[in-house]
């Protein structure tokens, strides 16, 4: 994480007009990862992308934190399963050739 740019969470929330308590709640539920240094909280660029997805779920689709948590875990599981499927397909191609 040291090579990735850190964005002050408070500044980001102000700029994007986000409720900082909502973003803190996402961090508390470990739906986004934050970096705390010298009593200041930062987001990494990679987490900003994830945060934007979760913000859209909440504000555009009116999904509460519990729903976001369930959807997030389900999407992570789908990603892992897709990666596993790709790996297995590659192995299968080796045996087919």
pLDDT of residue 1: 43
Contact at 8 Å (CB) between 54 and 72? yes
Sheet holding 6-8, edge to edge: 6-8, 40-44, 34-37
Instruction: Give residue-wise pLDDT tens across range 82-91.
Output: 999 999 999 9
Instruction: Give residue-wise pLDDT tens across range 15-68.
Output: 999 999 999 999 999 999 999 999 999 999 889 999 999 999 999 999 999 999
pLDDT at 96 over 50: yes
Model confidence band, residue 3 (pLDDT cutoffs 50, 70, 90): low
Domains of the chain by residue range: 6-96
pTM: 0.78
What does the H/E/C string look like for 25-43? HHHHCCCCCEEEECCEEEE
**From start to end of the chain, where are the E strands?**
6-8, 34-37, 40-44
Which CATH number fits the domain 6-96, given the four candidates 2.120.10.30, 2.130.10.30, 1.10.1660.10, 2.60.40.10? 1.10.1660.10
For the CA atoms of 60, 77, 50, 6, the dihedral, rounded to the nearest 10 degrees, stands at 160
């Amino acid at each position: 994480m040291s090579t990735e740019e850190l964005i002050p969470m408070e500044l980001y929330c102000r700029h994007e007009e986000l409720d900082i308590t909502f973003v803190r709640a996402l961090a508390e539920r470990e739906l986004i990862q934050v970096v705390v240094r010298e009593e200041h909280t930062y987001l990494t660029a990679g987490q900003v992308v994830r945060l934007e997805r979760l913000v859209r779920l909440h504000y555009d689709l009116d999904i509460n934190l519990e729903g976001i948590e369930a959807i997030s875990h389900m999407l992570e599981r789908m990603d892992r399963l897709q990666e596993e499927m790709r790996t297995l397909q590659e192995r299968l191609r080796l045996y087919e050739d």
